Amino acid sequence: MEEEENDEEEDDKVVKENDDEEIFEEDLDDKFNSEEHELKNLTLTDNELFYPPENFSNVIGNIYRSSFPRTENLSFFKKKLKLKSILVMLSDEYPQDLLQQYAENNITLFTCPIQGNKEPFINIQDETINKALKIILNPENQPILIHCNKGKHRTGTIVGCIRKLQNWSLTMIFDEYRRFAFPKARGLDQQCIEMFQPKEIDEYATEKSWLPLNWS
């Protein structure tokens, strides 16, 4: 009897260890690391040079995407993009040096914490996606940059939902998602995009004349 109980305890221990390992691997790209972020900040010596963030790209019109910004990106944001807003999709504490620079440059920071799609029961809900899209699509907040940590999974999911509002095919949406998420595309993110029902936000945004989105 004692051997059976010990076996059960060992099984539980293995499951817990495996679960912890899986969570660590899943969260590696998602978790904001303030020490790593600080180490990667650059000391700029040339005011004429502009430094976009990693994984930066134009989504459409005045909507942009990237990884977590750094201090050296501010000149690019203000002088090149003329950003009005930034939407972060993490719940981590935001770096104070960036908050100060955003305030000095009249950039509004919106926070919409989104928990990444993970097995077995964590999925981004349409309600959360719609909340983020209401911020992104509002012309009063544009030009706007959206970011998570690496600019891959949460950001890729939200961009995929924007593409559904543009009536892109799933093939095109998934191709774009995979390019930005490489080398670690997540099937659950793509499933979330596929299952997202855009009707509510489509009607809301159309009524406010935010749609259709224009490339210019």
- CB contact set of 178 (below 8 Å; sequence gap of 6+): 185
Closest CA to 155 of 50, 67, 43, 215: 67
- CB contact set of 206 (below 8 Å; sequence gap of 6+): none
* 148 catalytic residue (yes or no): yes
- CB contact set of 64 (below 8 Å; sequence gap of 6+): 56, 57, 58, 81, 83, 143, 144, 145, 146
Q: Using CA atoms, how far apart are residues 74 and 95, in angstroms rounded to an integer?
A: 14
Which listed residue (112, 148, 161, 192) is catalytic?
148
Residue 202 tokens read as 């489509």
Q: Which residue has the tokens 């891959």?
A: 152
Which residues have a catalytic role annotated?
148
